[in-house]
Copies of this chain bind each other. A is one copy, B any other.
Amino acid sequence: MSRRANGGTTTAGGGSTSTGNGTATTVDKGVDFANYFCTYAFLYHQKEMLSDRVRMDAYYNSVFSNKHHFVGKTVLDVGTGSGILAIWSAQAGAKKVYAVEATKMAEHARELVKANNLQDVVEVIEGSIEDITLPEKVDVIISEWMGYFLLRESMFDSVICARDRWLKPTGVMYPSHARMWLAPIRSGLADHKMSDYEGCMDDWHGFVTETKSYYGVDMSVLTKPFSEEQKKYYLQNSLWNNLHPNQVVGTPAILKEIDCLTVTVEDILKVEATVSSTIIKEDTRLCGFGGWFDVHFKGRNENPAECEVELTTAPSVDDGTHWGQQVFLLHPPVRVTEGNEILVNFSMSRSEENHRLMNVDLAYEIKVSSGKMLPPVRNKFYIE
């Protein structure tokens, strides 16, 4: 899903959320709409995703190169948006397609289905996948549910729910697998953000001086909370970025592997991994880490894809996607060189205030050529 996907505001009262401690509780629907769903009701937002060639090609190819999975079959498209995946499924020969969409975009999807003469095959249903009822179970569940760094937005919960409710025991998932990747990177953003933060604090100090002088109120007691708020904003919030492959300075490592047929919500509440990466560039700066994902369309063991398709969001010159990568910056950057080993302890869990946003704990240790380990550095990040 695109950059404009809302998720940056917090909830208050009125219902609790799925949290990192493993409990999944009710999310207030109105709040979830105001925080998350509403962006997807805009055609502009759908167009952004539909204009992502890499994304479109991958799904198009996965469907049309694997017609045996679709011809004469029943399909469920979870979060159909404009209806594109449902339409392709029907064009590939599906007997029946249920296209479920939570927002008013469903009305446009219905129009699009009709304009493409597929209303006899594709039934658009407006509602949450958790609430709606289908007349039958399906052979295929297709969905484009991936958020930044795969799990931001936590839409996959809904796909899992759909699978558990509506997929036949022999059914296939499109995509079938997903992986999260992490690699050490260099980036000018580290310096920029630190500079922005320092400028912001300089400005604050001037503000405190003036407010005391002109208005007789001493605001210095707010300096600490203000600096924490700004530190989070400038230095700890992960950033969307379109990394150049040359910025990847170490071997990428897999943080998480997901089998979409068997994974549970419990499995993805927390992503925890210890990985190792070897620096591949001589005399460079470790400015942070870049995170991305890939998904694969492999079908299932008993009913594999004839043509396996991969959709990757790894740094690329020509094949970038609207997902970009998520960048976690280090302050300050660290000098490293070819052969150094970076050991990373990565832990990501859902924000208590908003289950669609993430908290990240990232600790790294550097092993230099002599074999010596530098002291571990621990960092907190927020994916908002």
Contacts and interface: CB of A to CB of B under 8 A. Distances in A.
Interface of A: 6, 9-15, 28-31, 33-35, 37-38, 42-44, 47, 50-51, 56, 60, 82, 84, 87-88, 91, 108, 111-112, 114-116, 204, 207, 211, 214-222, 225-226, 229-230, 233
Given A14-B29, A30-B15, A87-B217, A43 B222 contact: yes
Nearest to A117: B218
Contact of A31 (B31, B84, B111, B230): B31
A9 B38 contact: yes
B60 A91 contact: no
Given A50-B211, A56-B215, A204-B47, A9 B30 contact: no
A25 to B, nearest CB: 14
A108 B222 contact: yes
Nearest to A47: B207
A34 to B, nearest CB: 4
Contact of A222 (B9, B87, B111): B111
15 contacts: A9-B35, A10-B38, A11-B30, A12-B29, A13-B29, A13-B30, A42-B229, A43-B222, A56-B215, A82-B222, A87-B217, A91-B216, A108-B225, A112-B217, A114-B221
Contacts of A50: 207, 211, 219
Contacts of A44: 226, 229-230, 233
A5 to B, nearest CB: 12
Given A30-B30, A44-B230, A50-B207, 15 more contacts: A11-B30, A12-B29, A12-B37, A14-B29, A14-B30, A31-B31, A31-B33, A34-B34, A43-B226, A47-B207, A82-B219, A82-B222, A87-B217, A88-B216, A116-B217
Contacts of A114: 221
A10 B216 CA distance: 40
